[in-house]
Amino acid sequence: MLKRVCLPFFLACLAIFPGLLSAAAADSVSVSEPYVRAVPPGLPNSASYMVLTNNGERDLVLKGAASPAAKVVELHTHIMDNGMMKMRQVDKIDLPAGQAVALQPGGYHVMMIGLQQQLVPGEHIDLTLEFGDGSELAVKVPVVKLQMKMTKGGMDHNMGGMQHK
């Protein structure tokens, strides 16, 4: 009895919500305010920032990114260690269902290591976001010149002085 009810119910559900099985993470995530920091010539690294909103019903993860603008692109976060701001690579950035996650200075960022092109304010770079299910989202990221902030005991990693471990 239960089986007879369940199967048609399940099929009916799939018919109504085909997206339950087929929706790619990339289709559920919107990107707002993306930018990548312009850096002076000679500095090898930069970082890009954005707000990622998961408009779907499922929790998703950002697991990586790629760009022709840099040799290596990694997901990073900042942690405070003995009063020093340090960067750490992370495997993924969680994107909870229905929430917006900000990648911003001092927090999560997309690290661009070994720049392959000059980051000129007003121009764009191509960035591809890679999600946990393997789906990808292409983003045009404008290059923006930001004020460098030197703080006591901490240094912005775009100054080029910080080591990656």
The contact set with Cu ion (CB under 5 A) reads: 76, 87, 111
Q: Which is nearer to Cu ion, 56 or 107 (CB)?
A: 107
Q: Which is nearer to Cu ion, 65 or 111 (CB)?
A: 111
Q: Which is nearer to Cu ion, 37 or 76 (CB)?
A: 76
CB of 94 to Cu ion, least distance (A): 18
CB of 157 to Cu ion, least distance (A): 5
- Tokens, residue 141: 């990221």
CB of 128 to Cu ion, least distance (A): 18
CB of 99 to Cu ion, least distance (A): 23
Q: Which is nearer to Cu ion, 7 or 79 (CB)?
A: 79
- Tokens, residue 3: 């089986």
